Structure 1
Amino acid sequence: MIRGVSSDTRCGNALRWALSLILVQIIILGDCINGFVPLIESVCAQEAEKRSINLKEPIFDVRVEGNESIPALAILQKTKIQRGRPATRDMVLEDVRLLFATRWFSSVVPVYRKTEQGLVLVYKVKERPIVEKVEFRGYKKIKLKRLEATTGLKVGSPFDIAANQESVNRIKQLYVERGYRFAEVKLLKGGDPGDRQVIFEIKEGPKVVVSKIKFRGNKFVSDGVLKTKLQTKKAPLGISFLGGKFDPATIQDDLLSLKQYYNGLGFFDVKIEEKVGYNNDKSRVQIEYTINEGKRYKIRDIMIEGNRLFSEDEIREDINLVAGEYFNSRTLAKDVDKLTTRYGELGHLFAKVTPQPRFLETPGEVDLVYSINEDKPYRIRKITAHISGDNPRTKSSVLLNPMMVAPGDLANQRLIAKSKRRIEGNQVFMKGPQDGPRINVTRVDPNKEMLASRENDVLRGQNADEQPTQKLRHPNLRYRNKTYRQTPPQRNQDLFKGLKTEPVSYESPQPQRTGQIFRGQNYDNGIPEPLNPLFGQSPLGDPMGTEFPQQQPGWVDLDVYASESRTGRLMFGVGVNSNAGVVGSIVLQEENFDILRPPRSMEDILDGTAWRGGGQRFRAEAVPGNQVSRYLVNWTDPYFLDTNFSLGVSGFYFTRYYTDWNEQRVGGRFSLGRQLTQEWSVNTQYRLESVKLYNPRSPTPAIVQASVGDNMLNTFRISLNHDTRDAAFLPAEGHLLEWAAEQAVGEYTYSRLEANGSQYFTLYKRPDGGGRHILSLSAQLGWTDTDTPVFERYYAGGFQTFRGFRFRGVTPRENGIAIGGRWSLLGSAQYMMPITADEMIQMVFFSDFGTVDEDVSLDQFRVSVGAGLRLTVPAMGPVPVALDFSVPLAKESFDQTQVFSFYVGFTR
């Protein structure tokens, strides 16, 4: 019971409660002023009755009054207070908030009533008007369901003038997003308090697409290249549904992109103006850019400041942008990367190389000053993994295994960046600038952390110098006779402000240490011994050595962050090529498999925990076809037992219908490999196969007849690889070399030696790095012993090995039947160049050559030449469509030729 409290206090409490409810109304409703006075009066009037009301008494009933069209049951379903339980003030306020949130009511007043049965809570409500009709007039290009979903209006929903007016804006925005920039939307009904119908009148207007993009005044850069820098794209063939939607907001972005592109090539004074024109019905837009390129700036001189660790000659070895050449921001960025990498390899993780331009009075000339802040070397104290996601299951070792540095190592900037790229290549984690992996480097405060005891070793009687070593300053006499602009154009300076001074790409480094990497552990060893132990870690350095003071290494912590991605995939595809005919594919792939995490409950299966989290790869594929079929199950652990060894196990079933016989293979493979360095790797493999050869063509050669039926293969193989390619897919620089030896035992005993190599050269590229012309040279050499069965001998021909000849068209024959050779030497030279500026269409010119023979010989050497196209279609996957035409220049009479070869694939 409410006793012992004055009426003023009780009324004051009631007023505070009422004001709280009013605040809820103001926040949620905003226009329910008519409900305020009854609320205050109702609550204050109850104070006289509260002398006999116990608010801790359970609620006997909850009722609704004032509702006309909305059932009380539907209203009470929105509240939380239940019968038979007490209702606190906060609970009542929460129910009021929930009722206002429905937007059904303009007023909600809670009232207590004392009845014979008990305490009753009554919500007195005042309903908003209800929408009786919603109509959209004049729409054709957008479906009714989409309009209804955009507005959210429907019959029976609360009538709200503000919501109706907001729906007008939403509909117009929807049309603008679809390209109807001149669409008009009017609210015919629904804007007056007395309305109960909501009617929109829509005038869609034309869909506006870009029909033409023109450039005037550009001489150095072609129209095609400039178009690749624009967000705005032309409608293909003028067909609107294929793209080309016009958005005026992108024009300014396009202007900025064009200016930045020209600035990056040294055109600092470029001026670009745009002009937008419409046709009569405003359905087509023509955009014209007028460009005044101005002079292209050359580098007159390059100066270096702040370098102590490296001489100026050593610094200049890493600078490709030399005096006398045109300025190029891409080359400049690479130079900065190489310089920071040079320092980073010595542990100077926070060294900064800042290129500063000095514009001269002479037009078209600029000096570059590389300002270097070397900082000091750092070592790694600890590495911590942070894996995020909706329900992260991945073990921390999956994130730490690709790291090429460990606690105690020098903080090698290149190795840290290489580690990041290795993590990015792991399909377990998300990619991209927002969600992709990142490595945060944090300096350790020496005043708060206990470092190695040798850190404080100083000469007796001296104090440790706590101040950072000052950079040596030398008078710069080179500027004495040079005149510079007093105020360089700000737009030119902006180019350098945006220049990345952190490493972007690195050469493949060699590890700085050998032996076991203990990942995830702290390193607490002391600082390495100085070159001259007599002087210890003196701040004055070794008087026998360098003239500069030796700085104490600092310590850093590495925090590695990554977010789990969707690692399970079910893919469907279809392909057709001149070697294997038509094939379909169904692939189940899991990039984050864990063979040691079987399900322990149904929940593990439902939430995806089972068989996941170990960073292993599992792949099951079915590839049926009219000429070849393959079924495969493969499991690979790239870091077996958290080491640099990889382990793989696979099982397969394979059938192939050759011209001369049919072949069926069932078996498995076991492989163990190790990445020796970033470029060198070694792999061993054991293969066990049951090979069935059947339906041979007649007359059957003896070597073929000897293998008809079931055969068992047991082979051991070891291979060594050296890979310096800049990309595993469509490389432009570097090489891939492989040496392999294989020994078969058991039913067949023979040896096999192979060597393969590919070298890639970029012979030409635009100043922006695009439009590369790539020359690729490749060679394959193989020899196998006399006991080799016919199904393991060498064959050539087809788009993968020897264009100009049919699949397996280059081989020794007996009675017209291919029997394979024991010796194979194949080579290819190919020149690829883009036809379009976006490099979606490329042309190739090639020559394939070589021989397959019974013995080591070049007597039957073949040569073919040809040309082809590479068409990249994003909707069909990353592998381009290959169309090749080739003609043999040298061949044997029994060879089978083929002028046209192709590959087309589609995967989803």
Structure 2
Amino acid sequence: MKTTLRRVLLQATSLIGALVLILCVGYKETLCAEIPEKAAQIIKKIEIRGTQRISTAAIKSSIRVKEGDRYSPLAVSQDVDAIWSLGFFDNIEVEFEELRDGLKLIFVVTERAMIDEIQFIGNKKIKTKKLESQITVKTGDYLKRYLLKLDEDKIKELYIKKCFNRVQVHAESKTTDGKTVVIFNIDEGPKIRISKILFDGNASFKRKKLLKQMETKRKRFPTFIFPGRFDSKKFETDVEKVKEFYMNNGWLDVDVGWDITYSDDHTTMDITLHVTEGERYSVENLSIDGAALFTDEELKGKLKLQEGGPFYLDAVDKDTYQLRLMYGEQGYITTAVKEKHTFSSEGAKVDVFFSVEEKDRHYIEKVKVTGNDKTRDNVIRRQLTFYPGEKLDTEKIRDSQRRLANTGYFDMESGMPAGINFEQGSEPNKQNIVVDVKEGRTGMLRFGGGFGANVGVFGDISYTDRNFDVTDLPKSWDDFLQGNAFRGAGEILTMRFSPGFERTEIMVSLTNPSVFDSPYSAGASLFNYLRWYREYEQQDMGARVSAGREIQRDFFVRLSPEFNIIEIEKRDDTEDTPQDVLDAEGSYLKAGLTLSANMNRTDNIYAPTKGYQGESSIEVAGLEVDIAKYKFQATKFNTLFEVPKWGKHVLAYGGTFGIAESTSGEDVPIFERYYAGGYGSIRGFRFRGVSPVDEKTGDQIGGDVLMLVSTEYLIPIYKDMIRAAVFVDSGKADEGVSDINFDRFRLSSGVGLRLNVPFLGRSTISIDYGIPIIKKEEDETESFSFNFGGGSSF
């Protein structure tokens, strides 16, 4: 039976093959006969048919075949492609007509319809103008079906952003009385917001910890930041992030499922993530082979993975990098570190092996500087913490990059203002260090003004240059206008005229942060401040010089002699003047000497996200103002976590402590006392609204002790350009040294907004709303505080 069936199939196959062969041979003969027949003919005429709006001349100008040419199938095919590329047609066909002495070549085209009108049907929640701005097709365009499909997706994306997850969009075109109308039919569906995000099975981590791994958030205040929008693609990524978080903490067999439930009216949704944790893996054995420079204990002490501890999946790469880093700091930059881990057949245990291949130590042969067409080489080199001839230290290289970025000389908007790379030196174990900088705008001329809660409205005509060179005289007027003069030595020049209703400032200052490329700095300034307080007017004219030294990395000490003429005059429009103001009326000569120390170990001096900064000063003054003042201020910055595409969440906290004492046995004059309240102090209180008061008039008269503590949480809204702030401020200004205690402390809390606008340079617009929580009857409160455009708080 099987043999008979096989024979029948074989005969049928042979018959089909013979028929196919005969047909192919016949078709080939016909085709071969036809092509030579046409190819031998001359194209006598070319005709375009089917056009309505497009001129035949425009089509003929796009084709290469001409009348009188011999017929070529390839050339005609290429011309069809050329006509198609014009974008005006839905279909193109080629026809031939036999003439006596040749061929007529005919291109038959079907023109695309032109859109006469666009309609939106069913859009109730989003206005038609908004939808029109989103789509690609416009009236007057030729109708292209693929663009309609793209516009459907764009409209869907817009609705999904508005929390309409079930929106349906269908585009169609209709032609009536020769008029082509594109219609977008929209079924919006309900507006659905996320009400809850729940977890079950998460025995090892709290819900809040897992929510931090997700970009999907439930609806909460403020809704413009947390609208409770559900994006399926983003949510799927979030599920993977939760799994990755578990795996990075040792739960390698974790599984995460999810389901969604809707409210009866389908306006809210609850998401539940079901976590099956499994067993946590641990490190049974940890070994490092091939290391001679360091002991096993030294290397293992730097690792996150430890014997007997959890097996963190993300620690595998981090520990490998940490070992390379340890060798890199000692100059062994080519040392290879490989990691291998194996799973035990018994239980959730892992053996981890690191193999180290130590190679030669590298030394720095040359340090090259490139990209600095204006900044001098020595200005860049003095920021470097490494030198030719010493071993190559990768930690010093990273630190040098940070120091160069913090100078402000280079283009911060480029993302890499100062890159440091290696190139092979003259010997295998020697490297040249190439410092590549991108020059930025260091000089800023500003005509404008601003507003500060502490200083009121003010105008501002100022020029600041952080890379000034007083010896670089212009060779021509164009040289000066194009910024090719007075630049490149790293000196800091500031000139300011800032008139205002509450304060006027005139100041000129020049500082050389590294005299003759040494650790020593020098500077001088002239100033004239005029300030109108509620009870009196104060004018302060004088000069200050300073000399300093960098004691160690980022730690500076300065000595600043200063000579002032201070004039105090009571306000004529004040009915009751405090006795302390009357006692202080007049003109004073003041000669002072200030010893200050400051340190800045932040990652960025303009928008710090980690590190700390602090300043301490002691001032002793004589002549007609006999005082001694001490002040200390410090702030710590911590990055709590970073949300991709949003930015870093930063916690900043710190405080200020100050004491003023008279060295003549008399009271400290009112113009040298401390006050609290206002921007940069205790928000929610008025500027100088917290201090001891005059018993008779109730006016603030200042104190000899200042104590401030502040905590601020910065939340990125759009990178570091727009950030929200939540703060708690506390402190006081009190009468004397005996009041150094926590009695009479004020407390406030509130929210704020920080705007860093590029065209304002490094100025920040700060808006804060503070609510006093603990206050005294004599205090003056002010909920809103604004600061725009900088300005001294004198």
Matched, 1:864 2:744: yes
Counterpart among 371, 375, 383 of residue 367 in structure 2: 383
Matched, 1:409 2:390: yes
Paired position in structure 2 for 1:898: 779
Matched, 1:257 2:241: yes
How far is the alpha carbon of 1:721 from its aligned partner? 3.2
For 2:315 and 2:782, locate their aligned partners in 1 and report how far apart those are by CA, in whole Å.
39
Paired position in structure 2 for 1:693: 568
Counterpart among 754, 769, 773 of residue 630 in structure 2: 754
**Percent of matched pairs sharing the same residue:** 16
Contact 1:664-1:691 within 8 A present in 2 as well: yes
Contact 2:724-2:752 within 8 A present in 1 as well: yes
Contact 1:209-1:234 within 8 A present in 2 as well: no
Matched, 1:736 2:609: no
Matched, 1:678 2:556: no
- Partner SS state of residue 864, structure 1: coil
Matched, 1:173 2:154: yes
User: Quick one: structure 1 residues 809 and 200, their matched pair in 2 at CA, closer, same or farther if it must change by over 3 Å?
Assistant: closer
- Partner SS state of residue 406, structure 1: coil
User: Quick one: structure 1 residues 252 and 717, their matched pair in 2 at CA, closer, same or farther if it must change by over 3 Å?
Assistant: same
Paired position in structure 2 for 1:475: none
User: Quick one: structure 1 residues 624 and 675, their matched pair in 2 at CA, closer, same or farther if it must change by over 3 Å?
Assistant: same
Matched, 1:798 2:782: no
Counterpart among 194, 212, 234 of residue 218 in structure 2: 234
Paired position in structure 2 for 1:288: 272
User: Quick one: structure 1 residues 132 and 332, their matched pair in 2 at CA, closer, same or farther if it must change by over 3 Å?
Assistant: closer
For 1:777 and 1:333, locate their aligned partners in 2 and report how far apart those are by CA, in whole Å.
39
Paired position in structure 1 for 2:184: 201
How far is the alpha carbon of 1:881 from its aligned partner? 4.3
- AA matched with 2:585: V
User: Quick one: structure 1 residues 236 and 868, their matched pair in 2 at CA, closer, same or farther if it must change by over 3 Å?
Assistant: same
- Partner SS state of residue 756, structure 1: strand
For 1:266 and 1:681, locate their aligned partners in 2 and report how far apart those are by CA, in whole Å.
45
- Partner SS state of residue 389, structure 2: coil
Matched, 1:313 2:297: yes
- Partner SS state of residue 419, structure 1: helix
For 1:270 and 1:632, locate their aligned partners in 2 and report how far apart those are by CA, in whole Å.
64
Counterpart among 594, 597, 608 of residue 720 in structure 1: 597
How far is the alpha carbon of 1:740 from its aligned partner? 3.4
Matched, 1:215 2:198: yes
For residues 624-654 of structure 1, what are the alpha-carbon distances to aligned partners after superposition, in whole Å with 9 as ceiling and x for unaligned? 8776565766666656676655565656554
Contact 2:148-2:171 within 8 A present in 1 as well: no
For 1:37 and 1:732, locate their aligned partners in 2 and report how far apart those are by CA, in whole Å.
63
Contact 2:683-2:783 within 8 A present in 1 as well: no
Work out which structure has the larger RCO, using CA pairs closer than 8 Å and 6 or more positions apart in sequence. Answer: 1
User: Quick one: structure 1 residues 802 and 205, their matched pair in 2 at CA, closer, same or farther if it must change by over 3 Å?
Assistant: closer
For 2:86 and 2:376, locate their aligned partners in 1 and report how far apart those are by CA, in whole Å.
45
Paired position in structure 2 for 1:147: 132
For residues 455-514 of structure 1, what are the alpha-carbon distances to aligned partners after superposition, in whole Å with 9 as ceiling and x for unaligned? xxxxxxxxxxxxxxxxxxxxxxxxxxxxxxxxxxxxxxxxxxxxxxxxxxxxxxxxxxxx
* Mapping 1:551-562, distance limit 5 Å: 553-560=429-436, 562=438
Contact 1:582-1:627 within 8 A present in 2 as well: yes
How far is the alpha carbon of 1:188 from its aligned partner? 1.0
* Mapping 1:472-491, distance limit 5 Å: none
How far is the alpha carbon of 1:695 from its aligned partner? 1.3
For 1:682 and 1:797, locate their aligned partners in 2 and report how far apart those are by CA, in whole Å.
27
For 2:251 and 2:383, locate their aligned partners in 1 and report how far apart those are by CA, in whole Å.
42
Matched, 1:439 2:419: yes
- Partner SS state of residue 231, structure 2: coil
Contact 1:665-1:690 within 8 A present in 2 as well: yes
For 1:442 and 1:571, locate their aligned partners in 2 and report how far apart those are by CA, in whole Å.
44
User: Quick one: structure 1 residues 758 and 357, their matched pair in 2 at CA, closer, same or farther if it must change by over 3 Å?
Assistant: farther
Contact 1:429-1:436 within 8 A present in 2 as well: no
Matched, 1:137 2:120: yes
For 1:183 and 1:647, locate their aligned partners in 2 and report how far apart those are by CA, in whole Å.
70
For 1:585 and 1:335, locate their aligned partners in 2 and report how far apart those are by CA, in whole Å.
55
* Mapping 1:356-371, distance limit 5 Å: 356-361=340-345, 363-371=347-355
Q: Structure 2 unaligned runs (5+)?
A: 1-42, 44-53, 71-80, 92-108, 757-763, 790-794
For 1:582 and 1:749, locate their aligned partners in 2 and report how far apart those are by CA, in whole Å.
28
Contact 1:809-1:896 within 8 A present in 2 as well: no
For 1:732 and 1:610, locate their aligned partners in 2 and report how far apart those are by CA, in whole Å.
36
For 1:137 and 1:731, locate their aligned partners in 2 and report how far apart those are by CA, in whole Å.
47
Matched, 1:268 2:293: no
For 2:495 and 2:110, locate their aligned partners in 1 and report how far apart those are by CA, in whole Å.
61
For 1:102 and 1:615, locate their aligned partners in 2 and report how far apart those are by CA, in whole Å.
58
User: Quick one: structure 1 residues 289 and 561, their matched pair in 2 at CA, closer, same or farther if it must change by over 3 Å?
Assistant: farther
For 2:190 and 2:629, locate their aligned partners in 1 and report how far apart those are by CA, in whole Å.
65
For 1:721 and 1:592, locate their aligned partners in 2 and report how far apart those are by CA, in whole Å.
19
For 2:62 and 2:321, locate their aligned partners in 1 and report how far apart those are by CA, in whole Å.
71
Contact 1:599-1:609 within 8 A present in 2 as well: no
> TM-score w.r.t. structure 2 length?
0.66
Paired position in structure 2 for 1:658: 533
For residues 810-830 of structure 1, what are the alpha-carbon distances to aligned partners after superposition, in whole Å with 9 as ceiling and x for unaligned? 469797787767xx5555677
- Partner SS state of residue 200, structure 1: strand
- AA matched with 2:404: I
How far is the alpha carbon of 1:611 from its aligned partner? 7.3
Matched, 1:708 2:585: yes
For 1:127 and 1:632, locate their aligned partners in 2 and report how far apart those are by CA, in whole Å.
76
User: Quick one: structure 1 residues 774 and 207, their matched pair in 2 at CA, closer, same or farther if it must change by over 3 Å?
Assistant: same
Contact 1:357-1:366 within 8 A present in 2 as well: yes
Paired position in structure 2 for 1:503: none
- AA matched with 1:442: F
User: Quick one: structure 1 residues 735 and 835, their matched pair in 2 at CA, closer, same or farther if it must change by over 3 Å?
Assistant: closer
User: Quick one: structure 1 residues 127 and 440, their matched pair in 2 at CA, closer, same or farther if it must change by over 3 Å?
Assistant: farther
User: Quick one: structure 1 residues 709 and 169, their matched pair in 2 at CA, closer, same or farther if it must change by over 3 Å?
Assistant: same
Contact 1:420-1:439 within 8 A present in 2 as well: yes
Paired position in structure 2 for 1:505: none
For residues 249-268 of structure 1, what are the alpha-carbon distances to aligned partners after superposition, in whole Å with 9 as ceiling and x for unaligned? 21232122222222333333
Counterpart among 181, 187, 202 of residue 172 in structure 2: 187
Contact 2:401-2:420 within 8 A present in 1 as well: no
How far is the alpha carbon of 1:694 from its aligned partner? 1.1
For 1:374 and 1:613, locate their aligned partners in 2 and report how far apart those are by CA, in whole Å.
42
Paired position in structure 1 for 2:403: 422
User: Quick one: structure 1 residues 622 and 411, their matched pair in 2 at CA, closer, same or farther if it must change by over 3 Å?
Assistant: same
How far is the alpha carbon of 1:859 from its aligned partner? 7.3
- AA matched with 1:270: V
Range moving further from structure 2, 403-412 or 313-322: 313-322
User: Quick one: structure 1 residues 229 and 642, their matched pair in 2 at CA, closer, same or farther if it must change by over 3 Å?
Assistant: farther
For residues 276-335 of structure 1, what are the alpha-carbon distances to aligned partners after superposition, in whole Å with 9 as ceiling and x for unaligned? 556688765543322223344444554333221122333344446544544557888876
Range moving further from structure 2, 353-362 or 723-732: 723-732
Contact 1:866-1:884 within 8 A present in 2 as well: no
User: Quick one: structure 1 residues 610 and 256, their matched pair in 2 at CA, closer, same or farther if it must change by over 3 Å?
Assistant: farther
User: Quick one: structure 1 residues 166 and 662, their matched pair in 2 at CA, closer, same or farther if it must change by over 3 Å?
Assistant: same
Range moving further from structure 2, 611-620 or 286-295: 611-620
How far is the alpha carbon of 1:414 from its aligned partner? 0.6
- Partner SS state of residue 685, structure 1: strand
Paired position in structure 2 for 1:247: 231
